[in-house]
């Protein structure tokens, strides 16, 4: 059942994106060589960090 991890990804989320956002997500994933899910996780952390700076 996959590799053991200290940070299991056990919450699933379905999102709807417009074409432009989907293309940007794909471009980011390819450029960073990570999954689209990882790009989204990084985005969440970035926005959250920005909120704390206010």
Give the separation between CA 35 and CA 50, rounded to whole angstroms. 23
Q: Given this model, what pLDDT does residue 1 score?
A: 64
Phi and psi at 42, nearest 5°, equal: -65, -40
* Rounded average pLDDT over 16-33: 98
Contacts for 28 with CB less than 8 Å, ≥ 6 apart: 39
Does pLDDT of 18 surpass 70?
A: yes
pTM reported for the whole predicted model: 0.85
In the structure, how many helices (H) and strands (E) does the chain have? 2, 0
């Amino acid at each position: 059942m996959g590799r053991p991890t200290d940070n299991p990804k056990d919450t699933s989320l379905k999102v709807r994106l417009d074409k432009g956002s989907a293309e940007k997500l794909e471009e980011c994933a390819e450029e960073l060589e990570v999954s689209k899910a990882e790009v989204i996780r990084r985005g969440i952390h970035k926005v959250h960090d920005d909120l704390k700076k206010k």
